[in-house]
Structure 1
Protein backbone atom coordinates (compact mmCIF):
# COMPACT_ATOMS: atom_id res chain seq x y z
CA UNK A 1 0.00 0.00 0.00
CA UNK A 2 2.81 2.48 0.82
CA UNK A 3 4.39 1.91 -2.61
CA UNK A 4 1.08 2.87 -4.19
CA UNK A 5 0.89 6.10 -2.13
CA UNK A 6 4.50 6.95 -2.97
CA UNK A 7 3.76 6.41 -6.66
CA UNK A 8 0.72 8.71 -6.44
CA UNK A 9 2.79 11.41 -4.75
CA UNK A 10 5.48 11.14 -7.43
CA UNK A 11 2.91 11.36 -10.21
CA UNK A 12 1.22 14.39 -8.63
CA UNK A 13 4.47 16.28 -8.14
CA UNK A 14 5.70 15.52 -11.65
CA UNK A 15 2.45 16.61 -13.29
CA UNK A 16 2.54 20.18 -14.41
CA UNK A 17 -0.36 22.31 -13.40
CA UNK A 18 -1.93 24.83 -15.72
CA UNK A 19 -2.60 28.41 -14.68
CA UNK A 20 -4.73 30.80 -16.72
CA UNK A 21 -3.38 34.34 -16.79
CA UNK A 22 -5.99 35.90 -19.09
CA UNK A 23 -9.31 34.33 -20.09
CA UNK A 24 -11.01 36.86 -22.34
CA UNK A 25 -14.41 35.21 -21.92
CA UNK A 26 -14.22 36.87 -18.49
CA UNK A 27 -14.70 40.62 -18.72
CA UNK A 28 -12.11 41.23 -15.99
CA UNK A 29 -9.35 39.87 -18.24
CA UNK A 30 -9.91 42.79 -20.59
CA UNK A 31 -9.01 45.46 -18.07
CA UNK A 32 -5.52 46.90 -17.94
CA UNK A 33 -4.70 46.43 -21.63
CA UNK A 34 -3.51 49.47 -23.53
CA UNK A 35 -2.21 50.26 -27.00
CA UNK A 36 1.30 51.50 -27.79
CA UNK A 37 1.61 52.78 -31.35
CA UNK A 38 4.79 53.77 -33.16
CA UNK A 39 3.74 57.40 -32.69
CA UNK A 40 6.07 57.34 -29.69
CA UNK A 41 8.80 57.41 -32.38
CA UNK A 42 7.00 59.56 -34.97
CA UNK A 43 5.16 56.76 -36.80
CA UNK A 44 1.53 56.73 -37.91
CA UNK A 45 0.35 53.18 -37.10
CA UNK A 46 -2.99 52.81 -35.31
CA UNK A 47 -3.87 49.79 -33.20
CA UNK A 48 -7.04 49.23 -31.18
CA UNK A 49 -7.96 46.91 -28.34
CA UNK A 50 -11.53 45.87 -27.59
CA UNK A 51 -13.54 42.95 -26.25
CA UNK A 52 -16.14 41.45 -28.59
CA UNK A 53 -18.06 38.17 -28.28
CA UNK A 54 -16.00 36.99 -25.29
CA UNK A 55 -12.74 37.57 -27.18
CA UNK A 56 -10.07 40.24 -27.01
CA UNK A 57 -9.62 41.93 -30.38
CA UNK A 58 -6.38 43.61 -31.41
CA UNK A 59 -6.81 45.25 -34.82
CA UNK A 60 -5.75 48.24 -36.82
CA UNK A 61 -3.36 49.47 -39.48
CA UNK A 62 0.41 49.42 -39.52
CA UNK A 63 2.05 52.28 -41.40
CA UNK A 64 5.69 52.55 -42.41
CA UNK A 65 5.38 56.33 -42.94
CA UNK A 66 7.61 58.57 -40.79
CA UNK A 67 9.87 55.61 -39.95
CA UNK A 68 7.00 53.80 -38.23
CA UNK A 69 5.97 50.20 -38.54
CA UNK A 70 4.52 48.69 -35.36
CA UNK A 71 1.64 48.69 -32.94
CA UNK A 72 1.29 46.73 -29.73
CA UNK A 73 -1.09 45.93 -26.88
CA UNK A 74 0.30 45.27 -23.43
CA UNK A 75 -0.81 44.67 -19.89
CA UNK A 76 1.23 45.26 -16.74
CA UNK A 77 0.21 43.54 -13.52
CA UNK A 78 1.41 42.49 -10.10
CA UNK A 79 4.08 39.78 -10.11
CA UNK A 80 2.94 36.31 -11.13
CA UNK A 81 5.37 33.58 -10.14
CA UNK A 82 5.78 31.19 -13.06
CA UNK A 83 8.76 29.12 -11.88
CA UNK A 84 6.59 25.95 -11.64
CA UNK A 85 5.83 26.13 -15.36
CA UNK A 86 7.72 25.63 -18.63
CA UNK A 87 5.68 27.37 -21.36
CA UNK A 88 2.97 29.82 -22.27
CA UNK A 89 -0.05 28.54 -24.17
CA UNK A 90 -2.02 31.07 -26.21
CA UNK A 91 -5.34 30.32 -27.91
CA UNK A 92 -5.87 32.77 -30.74
CA UNK A 93 -7.12 33.35 -34.25
CA UNK A 94 -5.01 35.48 -36.54
CA UNK A 95 -5.20 36.66 -40.10
CA UNK A 96 -2.26 34.81 -41.62
CA UNK A 97 0.24 37.45 -40.50
CA UNK A 98 3.24 37.25 -38.17
CA UNK A 99 3.08 38.61 -34.62
CA UNK A 100 5.29 38.77 -31.56
CA UNK A 101 4.41 37.57 -28.08
CA UNK A 102 6.41 39.54 -25.53
CA UNK A 103 6.92 39.25 -21.78
CA UNK A 104 8.82 41.15 -19.14
CA UNK A 105 9.81 39.61 -15.84
CA UNK A 106 9.97 43.12 -14.36
CA UNK A 107 7.76 45.89 -15.74
CA UNK A 108 10.61 48.38 -15.19
CA UNK A 109 13.20 46.52 -17.25
CA UNK A 110 14.09 48.03 -20.62
CA UNK A 111 14.11 44.82 -22.66
CA UNK A 112 11.38 42.30 -23.43
CA UNK A 113 11.61 38.58 -24.06
CA UNK A 114 10.21 37.95 -27.52
CA UNK A 115 8.77 35.01 -29.45
CA UNK A 116 7.65 35.47 -33.07
CA UNK A 117 4.79 33.33 -34.39
CA UNK A 118 2.75 33.00 -37.57
CA UNK A 119 -1.02 32.78 -37.70
CA UNK A 120 -3.03 30.62 -40.09
CA UNK A 121 -6.43 32.35 -40.22
CA UNK A 122 -7.88 29.51 -38.11
CA UNK A 123 -8.07 29.02 -34.35
CA UNK A 124 -4.67 27.92 -33.03
CA UNK A 125 -3.08 27.04 -29.74
CA UNK A 126 0.45 28.42 -29.75
CA UNK A 127 2.93 26.92 -27.30
CA UNK A 128 5.78 29.24 -26.30
CA UNK A 129 8.48 27.48 -24.26
CA UNK A 130 10.07 29.89 -21.79
CA UNK A 131 13.49 28.98 -23.20
CA UNK A 132 12.37 30.25 -26.65
CA UNK A 133 11.71 33.81 -25.42
CA UNK A 134 14.81 35.78 -26.50
CA UNK A 135 15.80 39.16 -25.02
CA UNK A 136 15.33 42.14 -27.37
CA UNK A 137 15.42 45.90 -27.08
CA UNK A 138 14.02 48.13 -29.84
CA UNK A 139 14.23 45.29 -32.34
CA UNK A 140 17.80 44.30 -31.53
CA UNK A 141 18.89 41.00 -29.99
CA UNK A 142 20.74 41.26 -26.70
CA UNK A 143 23.70 39.23 -25.47
CA UNK A 144 22.03 37.82 -22.39
CA UNK A 145 20.20 34.60 -21.45
CA UNK A 146 16.69 33.81 -22.67
CA UNK A 147 13.73 34.12 -20.31
CA UNK A 148 14.26 32.09 -17.13
CA UNK A 149 10.55 31.67 -16.39
CA UNK A 150 10.72 32.71 -12.73
CA UNK A 151 8.11 35.49 -12.85
CA UNK A 152 6.21 37.86 -15.14
CA UNK A 153 4.87 41.40 -14.74
CA UNK A 154 3.94 42.25 -18.34
CA UNK A 155 2.54 40.53 -21.43
CA UNK A 156 2.28 42.10 -24.88
CA UNK A 157 1.35 41.30 -28.48
CA UNK A 158 3.05 43.25 -31.27
CA UNK A 159 2.76 43.42 -35.03
CA UNK A 160 5.63 44.96 -36.98
CA UNK A 161 6.38 43.17 -40.24
CA UNK A 162 8.20 46.08 -41.95
CA UNK A 163 5.28 46.74 -44.29
CA UNK A 164 2.03 48.65 -44.49
CA UNK A 165 -0.84 46.32 -43.58
CA UNK A 166 -4.18 46.00 -41.85
CA UNK A 167 -4.43 43.30 -39.20
CA UNK A 168 -6.78 41.55 -36.80
CA UNK A 169 -5.84 39.17 -33.99
CA UNK A 170 -8.48 37.50 -31.78
CA UNK A 171 -7.33 36.32 -28.36
CA UNK A 172 -9.20 33.72 -26.31
CA UNK A 173 -6.78 33.00 -23.43
CA UNK A 174 -3.20 33.06 -22.23
CA UNK A 175 -2.01 30.47 -19.73
CA UNK A 176 1.15 28.80 -18.45
CA UNK A 177 1.72 25.09 -18.07
Structure 2
Protein backbone atom coordinates (compact mmCIF):
# COMPACT_ATOMS: atom_id res chain seq x y z
CA UNK A 1 0.00 0.00 0.00
CA UNK A 2 2.89 2.35 0.77
CA UNK A 3 4.32 1.95 -2.73
CA UNK A 4 0.86 2.34 -4.25
CA UNK A 5 0.37 5.54 -2.21
CA UNK A 6 3.61 7.01 -3.59
CA UNK A 7 2.71 6.02 -7.16
CA UNK A 8 -0.77 7.53 -6.84
CA UNK A 9 0.56 10.75 -5.32
CA UNK A 10 3.18 10.84 -8.07
CA UNK A 11 0.37 10.81 -10.62
CA UNK A 12 -1.05 13.95 -9.06
CA UNK A 13 -4.09 12.32 -7.46
CA UNK A 14 -5.20 13.80 -4.16
CA UNK A 15 -4.74 11.99 -0.88
CA UNK A 16 -8.53 12.02 -0.41
CA UNK A 17 -8.82 9.62 -3.35
CA UNK A 18 -6.59 7.01 -1.74
CA UNK A 19 -9.30 5.08 0.13
CA UNK A 20 -11.39 4.77 -3.05
CA UNK A 21 -8.35 3.73 -5.09
CA UNK A 22 -7.36 1.17 -2.45
CA UNK A 23 -10.91 -0.22 -2.50
CA UNK A 24 -10.76 -0.72 -6.27
CA UNK A 25 -7.24 -2.14 -6.11
CA UNK A 26 -8.34 -4.74 -3.55
CA UNK A 27 -11.33 -5.84 -5.64
CA UNK A 28 -13.90 -4.37 -3.29
CA UNK A 29 -17.35 -3.36 -4.53
CA UNK A 30 -17.65 0.01 -6.25
CA UNK A 31 -20.66 1.83 -4.81
CA UNK A 32 -22.72 4.02 -7.08
CA UNK A 33 -25.57 4.61 -4.64
CA UNK A 34 -25.97 4.44 -0.90
CA UNK A 35 -29.10 6.66 -0.82
CA UNK A 36 -27.38 9.23 1.40
CA UNK A 37 -27.50 12.46 -0.63
CA UNK A 38 -30.94 13.35 -2.04
CA UNK A 39 -31.61 10.03 -3.81
CA UNK A 40 -34.98 11.32 -5.00
CA UNK A 41 -33.12 13.56 -7.47
CA UNK A 42 -31.45 10.64 -9.26
CA UNK A 43 -33.92 7.78 -9.11
CA UNK A 44 -36.98 7.70 -11.35
CA UNK A 45 -40.03 5.53 -10.77
CA UNK A 46 -42.36 4.42 -13.51
CA UNK A 47 -44.80 1.69 -14.36
CA UNK A 48 -46.17 -0.02 -17.43
CA UNK A 49 -48.71 2.85 -17.61
CA UNK A 50 -46.29 4.43 -20.10
CA UNK A 51 -47.38 1.73 -22.57
CA UNK A 52 -51.02 1.29 -21.55
CA UNK A 53 -50.57 -1.15 -18.65
CA UNK A 54 -52.39 -0.85 -15.33
CA UNK A 55 -49.70 -1.66 -12.74
CA UNK A 56 -49.50 0.77 -9.82
CA UNK A 57 -46.87 1.60 -7.24
CA UNK A 58 -44.57 4.09 -5.65
CA UNK A 59 -40.98 4.74 -4.69
CA UNK A 60 -40.18 6.19 -1.28
CA UNK A 61 -37.01 6.73 0.73
CA UNK A 62 -36.87 5.75 4.39
CA UNK A 63 -34.33 5.74 7.17
CA UNK A 64 -33.59 2.84 9.46
CA UNK A 65 -30.68 2.44 11.87
CA UNK A 66 -29.15 5.65 10.53
CA UNK A 67 -29.13 4.46 6.91
CA UNK A 68 -31.39 5.57 4.09
CA UNK A 69 -32.82 3.05 1.67
CA UNK A 70 -35.25 3.03 -1.25
CA UNK A 71 -38.55 1.19 -0.94
CA UNK A 72 -40.49 0.26 -4.05
CA UNK A 73 -44.00 -1.05 -3.51
CA UNK A 74 -46.96 -1.70 -5.74
CA UNK A 75 -49.20 -4.06 -7.60
CA UNK A 76 -47.85 -5.56 -10.83
CA UNK A 77 -50.58 -6.49 -13.30
CA UNK A 78 -50.20 -8.18 -16.67
CA UNK A 79 -53.60 -6.85 -17.78
CA UNK A 80 -53.57 -4.70 -20.90
CA UNK A 81 -50.24 -6.22 -21.99
CA UNK A 82 -48.44 -4.67 -19.01
CA UNK A 83 -46.49 -6.20 -16.20
CA UNK A 84 -43.87 -4.02 -14.48
CA UNK A 85 -42.97 -1.32 -12.01
CA UNK A 86 -39.41 -0.10 -11.73
CA UNK A 87 -36.97 2.31 -10.13
CA UNK A 88 -34.14 3.44 -12.41
CA UNK A 89 -30.91 5.35 -11.97
CA UNK A 90 -29.14 6.86 -14.98
CA UNK A 91 -25.38 6.59 -14.50
CA UNK A 92 -22.98 9.49 -14.79
CA UNK A 93 -20.24 7.02 -15.75
CA UNK A 94 -20.32 3.45 -16.98
CA UNK A 95 -18.75 0.83 -14.73
CA UNK A 96 -15.06 0.18 -15.29
CA UNK A 97 -14.39 -2.44 -17.98
CA UNK A 98 -12.95 -4.83 -15.38
CA UNK A 99 -16.24 -4.91 -13.45
CA UNK A 100 -17.77 -8.35 -13.17
CA UNK A 101 -21.36 -7.50 -12.25
CA UNK A 102 -23.94 -5.58 -10.26
CA UNK A 103 -24.00 -5.67 -6.47
CA UNK A 104 -27.09 -4.86 -4.38
CA UNK A 105 -27.95 -4.89 -0.69
CA UNK A 106 -31.67 -5.75 -0.67
CA UNK A 107 -34.57 -7.20 1.27
CA UNK A 108 -38.23 -7.70 0.44
CA UNK A 109 -41.31 -9.85 0.50
CA UNK A 110 -39.79 -13.23 -0.44
CA UNK A 111 -40.34 -12.65 -4.16
CA UNK A 112 -38.27 -12.66 -7.34
CA UNK A 113 -37.17 -9.30 -8.74
CA UNK A 114 -34.97 -8.25 -11.64
CA UNK A 115 -32.20 -5.87 -12.52
CA UNK A 116 -32.47 -4.27 -15.94
CA UNK A 117 -29.40 -2.66 -17.47
CA UNK A 118 -29.62 -0.27 -20.36
CA UNK A 119 -26.58 0.39 -22.52
CA UNK A 120 -25.49 2.68 -25.31
CA UNK A 121 -27.01 0.03 -27.63
CA UNK A 122 -30.48 -0.06 -26.03
CA UNK A 123 -32.30 2.66 -27.91
CA UNK A 124 -35.93 1.48 -27.79
CA UNK A 125 -37.90 1.42 -24.49
CA UNK A 126 -38.32 -2.37 -24.52
CA UNK A 127 -34.60 -3.02 -24.96
CA UNK A 128 -32.53 -3.92 -21.89
CA UNK A 129 -30.46 -6.72 -20.38
CA UNK A 130 -32.09 -8.62 -17.52
CA UNK A 131 -31.28 -11.01 -14.70
CA UNK A 132 -33.48 -12.17 -11.81
CA UNK A 133 -32.72 -12.47 -8.10
CA UNK A 134 -34.68 -13.47 -5.01
CA UNK A 135 -35.11 -11.47 -1.81
CA UNK A 136 -36.00 -12.43 1.76
CA UNK A 137 -37.15 -10.37 4.73
CA UNK A 138 -33.51 -9.90 5.84
CA UNK A 139 -30.95 -7.58 4.30
CA UNK A 140 -28.68 -9.59 2.01
CA UNK A 141 -26.12 -9.01 -0.70
CA UNK A 142 -27.01 -9.97 -4.27
CA UNK A 143 -24.12 -10.27 -6.74
CA UNK A 144 -25.35 -10.50 -10.32
CA UNK A 145 -22.65 -11.35 -12.85
CA UNK A 146 -22.75 -9.45 -16.14
CA UNK A 147 -22.44 -12.83 -17.89
CA UNK A 148 -25.84 -13.83 -16.44
CA UNK A 149 -27.72 -10.86 -17.98
CA UNK A 150 -29.76 -11.76 -21.05
CA UNK A 151 -30.95 -9.39 -23.79
CA UNK A 152 -34.70 -8.71 -23.88
CA UNK A 153 -34.64 -8.09 -27.63
CA UNK A 154 -33.22 -10.02 -30.57
CA UNK A 155 -31.80 -6.76 -31.89
CA UNK A 156 -29.28 -6.56 -29.02
CA UNK A 157 -25.84 -8.09 -28.72
CA UNK A 158 -25.90 -11.53 -27.08
CA UNK A 159 -23.80 -10.26 -24.18
CA UNK A 160 -23.40 -6.77 -22.78
CA UNK A 161 -20.18 -4.82 -22.48
CA UNK A 162 -19.78 -3.43 -18.94
CA UNK A 163 -18.30 -0.19 -20.24
CA UNK A 164 -21.48 0.54 -22.22
CA UNK A 165 -23.95 0.43 -19.27
CA UNK A 166 -25.90 3.69 -18.94
CA UNK A 167 -28.53 2.87 -16.30
CA UNK A 168 -29.45 0.38 -13.58
CA UNK A 169 -33.06 -0.47 -12.70
CA UNK A 170 -34.61 -2.64 -10.00
CA UNK A 171 -37.81 -4.08 -11.43
CA UNK A 172 -40.87 -6.04 -10.32
CA UNK A 173 -41.76 -7.77 -13.56
CA UNK A 174 -43.63 -10.30 -15.61
CA UNK A 175 -46.43 -11.67 -13.44
CA UNK A 176 -49.37 -10.53 -11.33
CA UNK A 177 -48.10 -9.92 -7.79
CA UNK A 178 -47.66 -7.47 -4.94
CA UNK A 179 -44.19 -5.94 -4.94
CA UNK A 180 -42.24 -4.76 -1.91
CA UNK A 181 -38.48 -4.40 -2.18
CA UNK A 182 -36.00 -2.30 -0.21
CA UNK A 183 -32.62 -1.38 -1.69
CA UNK A 184 -29.85 -0.05 0.58
CA UNK A 185 -26.84 -0.13 -1.75
CA UNK A 186 -26.22 -0.35 -5.49
CA UNK A 187 -22.81 -0.80 -7.05
CA UNK A 188 -20.54 -2.95 -9.14
CA UNK A 189 -18.01 -5.64 -8.23
Per-residue Cα deviation, 1:137-167 (whole angstroms, up to 9, x for no partner): 3xxx66632222124211111112422x222
| Contact persistence 1:88–1:127 (CA under 8 A) | yes
Q: Which residue of 1 aligns with 2:55?
A: 45
Per-residue Cα deviation, 1:6-60 (whole angstroms, up to 9, x for no partner): xxx9xx8974243111112x03334221122111222111121111111111111
| Aligned mate of 1:63, from 52, 69, 77 | 77
| Aligned mate of 2:111, from 97, 105, 112 | 97
Once the two structures are TM-superposed, the CA of residue 65 in structure 1 deviates from its matched residue by 2.8
For 1:56 and 1:88, the matched residues in 2 are separated by 17
TM-score by length of 2: 0.75
TM-score by length of 1: 0.80
For 1:83 and 1:167, the matched residues in 2 are separated by 33
SS at 1:27 equivalent: coil
| Contact persistence 2:131–2:144 (CA under 8 A) | yes
Aligned residues: 164
Q: Which residue of 1 aligns with 2:172?
A: 159
Question: Could you say what the CA RMSD is over the residues aligned between the two structures, in angstroms?
Answer: 2.6
Structure 1 pair 35–100 and aligned structure 2 pair: CA distance change class (3 A): same
For 2:82 and 2:129, the matched residues in 1 are separated by 21
Unaligned runs of 5+ in 2: 8-21
Structure richer in strand, relative to its length = 1
For 1:79 and 1:14, the matched residues in 2 are separated by 19
Q: Which residue of 1 aligns with 2:88?
A: 74
Residue 174 (structure 1) aligned with residue 177 (structure 2): no
Q: Which runs of structure 1 show a deviation greater than 4 angstroms over 4 or more consecutive aligned residues? A: none
| Contact persistence 1:82–1:151 (CA under 8 A) | no
For 2:105 and 2:123, the matched residues in 1 are separated by 27
Once the two structures are TM-superposed, the CA of residue 63 in structure 1 deviates from its matched residue by 2.2
Q: Which residue of 1 aligns with 2:140?
A: 124
| Contact persistence 2:78–2:174 (CA under 8 A) | no
For 1:160 and 1:74, the matched residues in 2 are separated by 14
| Contact persistence 1:92–1:125 (CA under 8 A) | yes
Once the two structures are TM-superposed, the CA of residue 103 in structure 1 deviates from its matched residue by 1.0
For 1:90 and 1:149, the matched residues in 2 are separated by 16
